[in-house]
A and B are shown apart, each in its own frame.
Chain A
Amino acid sequence: MAKTNISDAMQAAIGGELSRSTSFPITDSDIRRWAVAIYYPEDPPRLFWDADYAAQTSLGGIVAPEEFNPFAWMTAEGPRKTSVGHNPDLTEITLGIEGPGLKFQLNGGSEVEYGVRMRPGDVITSVRSLTGYSEREGRLGLMLFTRADDVWTNQDNEVVKTTKSTLIRY
């Protein structure tokens, strides 16, 4: 049998939920501060802070920059728990199964598809789930690729964005 780090338990766990979180309602100040920070030292676009200007665009009002994070500082679940650190087996531990025990991990990149914009007053829910495992022989040995989707929806259940990320372990 070929060598693999993907156990039957890992294969069976695909589709499992890794995390779920809900934001506090987004405020126009949250959006304005994010935009000021990103564009510093230049002024941010009016769409992110000038309600009168934004109302005249096809968006009809202030929206958040696409990459805005409404989960920073605190989520509606309350203060964050103590960090669980960077255990490479965290994915499997979260799913209640044994991990492959690999020592090293790298961020393999992210790809985001955008849906509706985030606006002041929106409450965003993030649901992150395991979507698959694959393996490839690489320069550093057998590389395990773990894929996860993080889907954000607003209070009307409209998709705000889907982030596909890949964790590389070896």
Chain B
Amino acid sequence: MSQATVSELTVGMEIPEFQRATGLHNWNRYAGVNYEFVDIHMDDEAGKAAGYATAFGMGNLQWSYLHALLRQWIGDEGRILRLGCQFRAANTKGMIVTAHGKITAIREEDGETIVDLEIWTDNDSGKIMAPGTATVALPRG
């Protein structure tokens, strides 16, 4: 992120989205790295028994998407200082999951630009799944 871009930031501005179509290809890869082999994420019958239309994605993968959202915005030289969220809903097969962020505060601390954001994931029906907040330090100019 360039200094010119930083000076144009305003409270209320939304950052670029991070979006994925989700299903077994994503979930199996995530299960493989996080050792998260749970029937509800692998088997439609187990998903249905838990009240969903199909198997469903991991909350931890939404957690990763929120981090990826911030990383693609701040770049390799920025830092995620804090991130918190609640898991309120799950994504079933074929859903589009989108991670969003909106700036809520901007301040200077020790020569760094610190930005607070409201962050959330939603599905293609607009249902909010994982709402939260985050704080990042933008790259030094």
B33 close to A34 (CB less than 8 A): yes
Asked whether B29 is an interface residue with its Cβ less than 8 Å from the other chain, the reply is: yes
Provided the pairs A45-B76, A65-B64, A114-B81 are in contact, do residues A37 and B86 lie with their beta carbons within 8 angstroms? no
Residue pair A114, B85 in contact (C-beta under 8 Å): no
> Known interface pairs A33-B33, A39-B68. Does A66 touch B80 (Cβ–Cβ under 8 Å)?
yes
What 0/1 pattern do residues 107 to 140 of A give for CB contact below 8 A with B? 1111111100000000000000000000000000
Contact, CB under 8 Å: B35 / A59: no
Contacts of A40 in B (CB 8 A): 20, 25-26, 29
Number of contacting residues on B, CB 8 A? 32
Classify the interface of chain A: helix, strand, loop or mixed. mixed
A38, CB-defined interface residue at 8 Å:
yes
The answer for the CA separation of A57 and B79 in the assembled complex, in Å, is 13
Contacts of A67 in B (CB 8 A): 60, 63-64, 67
Q: Taking the nearest CB of chain B, how far is it from the CB of A155, in angstroms?
A: 21
A69 at interface, CB cutoff 8 A: yes
Q: Are B67 and A66 in contact (CB under 8 A)?
A: yes
Interface assignment of A10: CB less than 8 Å from any CB of chain B: no
Query: Using a CB–CB distance below 8 Å, which chain A residues touch chain B?
Result: 30, 33-34, 36-41, 45, 47, 57-59, 65-67, 69, 72-73, 107-114, 164
